[in-house]
């Protein structure tokens, strides 16, 4: 489980609930207690909004990463950034993973990951500009595009010196996609899993869930968990989430059904 921790005043889901540093720090402690193995710290919301420069992004995340690292030495810390300069600073402060949600917009990001021995998450955005919403975007085959772009990014990271075990691909639901695209990526996620690269999915409360069920942001958990189940059955390995406990139980159940996980106990019919 990769738990989301937003150091932003305007995030779409929590509306700035963890903008204050202490509130964000308490969120880290909570999700660690709930069993999250990774925290993903972000300093800029993905949607269009106020322009946030490099200095401000650093101010939001670098010292916070250092604080989390000192308090939780065994926790895997990810930072959601597309900027190589920010990635360099957070890795120096103790981050382990660079979560590039914008598909390699900064080509130097892979070099930063290699320099620090960090992991990198390679996403598919269909070439849209950073922090823009898709507008009438079309694909001949959205899954083929996602496979081609993420695996090419992964190979570029590998060539730059990032360890193969530290490279993850992500179809990036909603990023550069309309709802039909995100549904198709979910339905055919096994094609990404079949590439051999570990797959991350970020489904939590996304717009494709809201549009499919006609639900506002605060009422998308059921749809999120349904999509999570499909991705878990297909073999996704990492789940970027707001609700850690519910997602863990969903994934554990699906993996047990799939024969990849033993039940926590199985005494029925044996007594």
Residue-wise pLDDT for 146-202, tens only, equals: 999 999 999 999 999 999 999 999 999 999 999 999 999 999 999 999 999 999 999
174 domain-assigned: yes
For position 40, which CATH number holds?
3.20.20.20
Cβ(224)–Cβ(209) below 8 Å: yes
Question: 76-80 and 119-123 as β-strands: parallel, antiparallel, unpaired?
Answer: unpaired
Q: Is residue 245 part of a domain?
A: yes
Asked whether residue 115 is assigned to any structural domain, the reply reads yes
Domain of residue 226 covers: 2-257
- Residue 102 lies inside a defined structural domain of this protein: yes
- Encoding tokens for residue 68? 């989390």
Residue 190 pairs with which residues in a beta bridge? none
Q: What's the pLDDT band for 104 if we cut at 50, 70, 90? A: very high
Structure confidence at residue 160 (pLDDT): 98
Distance from C-alpha of 40 to C-alpha of 175, rounded to nearest angstrom: 17
pLDDT of residue 234: 98
Domain presence at residue 77: yes
Q: At what angle do helices 109-116 and 142-160 cross, to 10 degrees?
A: 50
What's the pLDDT tens digit per position in 232-253? Answer: 999 999 999 999 999 999 999 9
Domain for residue 265, yes or no?
no
Q: Each residue of 114-123: pLDDT tens digit?
A: 999 999 999 9
Q: Evaluate whether residue 25 is within a structural domain.
A: yes
* Structure confidence at residue 40 (pLDDT): 98
How far from the centroid of its chain's Cα atoms is residue 18's Cα?
Answer: 18
Answer yes or no: is 68 within a domain: yes
Read off the pLDDT of residues 56-68 as tens digits, 9 standing for 90 and up: 999 999 999 999 9
Return the pLDDT at 270.
92
What is the pLDDT, as a whole number, of residue 263?
Answer: 97
**What count of other Cβ atoms lies within 10 Å of the Cβ of residue 220?**
23
> Is residue 13 pLDDT above 90, yes or no?
no
Give whole-number Cα distances, 226 to 53, 203, 205, in Å. 37, 10, 11
More confident residue, 228 or 271: 228
Question: How many domains, in total, are found in the chain?
Answer: 1
């Amino acid at each position: 489980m990769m738990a989301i921790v937003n150091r932003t005043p305007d995030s779409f889901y929590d509306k700035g609930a963890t903008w204050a540093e202490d509130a964000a720090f308490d969120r880290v402690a909570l999700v660690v207690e709930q069993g999250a193995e990774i925290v993903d710290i972000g300093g800029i919301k993905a949607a269009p909004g106020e322009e946030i420069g490099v200095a401000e992004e650093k101010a939001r995340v670098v010292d916070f990463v250092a604080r989390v690292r000192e308090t939780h030495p065994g926790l895997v810390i990810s930072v959601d950034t597309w900027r190589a300069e920010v990635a360099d600073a957070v890795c120096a402060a103790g981050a382990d993973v660079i979560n590039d949600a914008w598909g390699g917009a900064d080509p130097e990001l892979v070099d930063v990951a290699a320099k620090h021995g960090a992991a990198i998450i390679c996403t598919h955005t269909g070439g849209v500009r950073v922090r823009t919403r898709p507008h009438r975007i079309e694909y001949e085959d959205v899954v083929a595009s996602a496979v081609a772009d993420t695996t090419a990014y992964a190979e570029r990271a590998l060539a730059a010196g990032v360890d193969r075990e530290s490279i993850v691909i992500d179809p990036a639901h909603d990023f550069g996609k309309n709802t039909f695209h995100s549904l198709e990526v979910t339905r055919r996620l096994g094609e990404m899993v079949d590439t051999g690269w570990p797959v991350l999915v970020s489904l939590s409360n996304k717009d494709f869930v809201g549009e499919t069920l006609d639900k506002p942001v605060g009422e998308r958990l059921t749809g999120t968990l349904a999509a999570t189940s499909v991705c878990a059955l297909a073999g996704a390995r990492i789940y970027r989430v707001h609700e850690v406990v519910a997602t863990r139980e969903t994934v554990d159940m699906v993996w047990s059904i799939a024969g990849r996980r033993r039940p926590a106990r199985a005494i029925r019919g044996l007594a």
